[in-house]
Each structure stands twice: as C-alpha cells, then as structure tokens.
C-alpha cells in the first residue's frame, strides 16, 4: 500500500493552496501534505508556507524537509488562521538546497506583499530583468516570479489595476513562460489566489453542509461540520488530492483559475503553443527533470 502511494505522489515539487471566505486554519491539509516530504514521498529539499493577513503575510521557509523541520512541526500543531495560504515542499531541479531557494517567495508591489510558489522545471528561461525585481537565489521559479511582477509593474505602473485586468495580464504571461517547460504555480497578494497548471493541479471547495474528510497520507479524518459555520467556505488546491473520500477536480493543461472568498472568481483555458505541438507530435514532448520525479 505504501509503495503504491509513493508511486502516486512522487512527481516534482508539490503545491498546496487555500482560499477562504472566512479566516481558516490549514492544519488538517498541511498534516497530510507534509507527509510527502519524507514519509509517503521524497520531496525533502526544503519547505515553506505563507499565511496572509490583509496586505502582509507570515512567511515560514526552511531548507530542511517538512518532516524534519521544527518550524513545520509548529505549523502542524498551531492553528494560524488566514483567508489565503500557499505552501510548497521542494524536490530540487534547479538551484542548491538552501534557504534562499526555498519556496514560497515574497516581494512587494503596490503596497501589498505578493507570494509565489512554483512546481516544474523551465528550460532556457533567461529573461533580462530591468527593474527592481531581482532573484536572491538561483532557481528558475524565483526568476519567473520576478519576471511576472516586473511585467505587472511595466504594464500597470504605480497603481494596482482591477482583478480582471490582472487576470488578463497573467493569462498572457503564463503561457509564454510555459513554453520553456512545466509551469504550475500559485500567486497571491492576500486578496485572491491565482493558480495555473500545465501538467497537474487539483481543486475542491468545501462549504455548507460540511462533511467528513479522510487523508490519503495519514490515518486521520475530520468531521468539518463540527468545526465550521454556514458562513465558512474553503477552496483547497493541491498538486495531488489530499483526501480519499472527496471529489477533486483536475485542471486542464493551460488552465488558469482565480479563487476569491473560497470560490472560483475567474477561469480560463490558455493556449500554450508548446503543448499543442506536442499533442500533434508526441516525439516533441520534453521530459524535464521535474517531470521525472
């Protein structure tokens, strides 16, 4: 059984995101998710998690795995409540196993902190950054994040645009980056949670009337109806499903979904030309290092 589970979840880095109508803790999901950092899989090259509180966020990162890190143990047991959470367990493909290469990454734009985490491997992605956003580490992921924020700043200037304008801009940028390889990511400024997949992401929404949920990676379940109110609503997004008795929806390749208040606000299927070429001619498919994990 454990061998089958290892085969199921052993792919690339892994992402976990949560967007909620009311401040909610992520303890249940993070308990199962963090098991994939050495127990049920081998994403052991660092972890991080960010909890938004309005414009700012609490960011915890460690080059140790989410199983070994005392910080991760604290997070598994302390209920930090937030409307937007992004977590990442790393299987290194580019960049050393160091603190500066641990996701999520954080930068400021328009007076708000922005958080980004990426799952994948980008080949020959070397944009020339001309603004204030520069990488601290040496990952393709942080470089992509800096590039996205630079494009936002160049296009919109000093004032944050509408959510719709941001969505349209990101839906233009993401497929361009995805031409270089697997590009699954989360991005948030504490107001909404942007998500994008070229290979693998899944989502579900928990809302009233709440039900039981049982983790795949641990022998733990919870009756959400006992710990929620009718006003609660929670969207959970992750690389691989976390529970065995809930219905998870898979993203289409190239799909972008924005979550707000625990529900889908916008969604769009973008055109990644590389994926179309590979569909017509499978011999063109590039198996990056991330896809082999």
Tokens read off for 199: 């290979």
Report the DSSP beta bridge partners of residue 51: 58, 85
Give dist(CA 48, CA 105) in Å, integer: 9
Q: How far apart are CA 293 and CA 29, in angstroms?
A: 22
- Tell me, yes or no, if 13 is annotated catalytic: yes
Look at residues 98, 253, 89 and name the one whose alpha carbon lies nearest to residue 181.
Answer: 253
Q: Which residue in the list 13, 20, 44, 57 is annotated as catalytic? A: 13
Strand-pair partners of 236: 18, 204
* Residue 166: both structure tokens together: 């941001």
Number of other CB atoms surrounding residue 161 within 10 Å: 15
Q: Rounded to whole angstroms, how far apart are CA atoms 30 and 20?
A: 15
Place of tokens 């209920």: 79
Residues designated as active site: 13
């Amino acid at each position: 059984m454990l061998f089958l589970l290892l085969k199921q979840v052993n792919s690339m880095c892994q992402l976990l995101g949560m967007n909620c109508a009311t401040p909610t803790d992520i303890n249940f999901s993070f308990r199962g998710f963090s098991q994939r950092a050495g127990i049920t899989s081998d994403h052991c090259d660092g972890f991080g998690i960010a909890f938004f509180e309005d414009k700012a966020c609490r960011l915890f990162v460690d080059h140790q795995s989410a199983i070994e890190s005392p910080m991760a143990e604290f997070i598994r047991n302390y209920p930090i409540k937030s409307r937007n959470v992004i977590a990442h367990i790393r299987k290194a493909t580019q960049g050393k196993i160091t603190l500066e290469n641990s996701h999520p990454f954080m930068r400021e734009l328009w007076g708000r902190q922005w958080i980004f985490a990426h799952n994948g491997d980008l080949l020959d992605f070397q944009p020339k950054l001309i603004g204030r956003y520069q990488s601290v580490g040496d990952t393709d992921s942080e470089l992509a994040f800096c590039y996205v924020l630079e494009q936002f700043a160049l296009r919109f200037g000093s004032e944050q645009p509408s959510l719709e304008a941001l969505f349209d801009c990101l839906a233009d940028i993401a497929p361009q980056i995805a031409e270089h390889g697997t590009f699954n990511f989360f991005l948030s400024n504490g107001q909404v949670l942007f998500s994008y997949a070229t290979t693998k992401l899944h989502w579900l929404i928990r809302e009233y009337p709440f039900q039981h949920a049982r983790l795949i990676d641990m022998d733990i379940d919870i009756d959400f109806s006992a710990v929620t109110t009718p006003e609660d609503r929670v969207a959970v997004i992750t690389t691989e499903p976390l529970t065995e008795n809930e219905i998870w929806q898979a993203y289409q390749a190239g799909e972008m979904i924005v979550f707000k208040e625990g529900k889908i606000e916008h969604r769009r299927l973008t055109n990644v030309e590389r994926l179309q070429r590979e569909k017509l001619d499978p011999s063109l498919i590039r198996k990056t290092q991330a896809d082999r994990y």
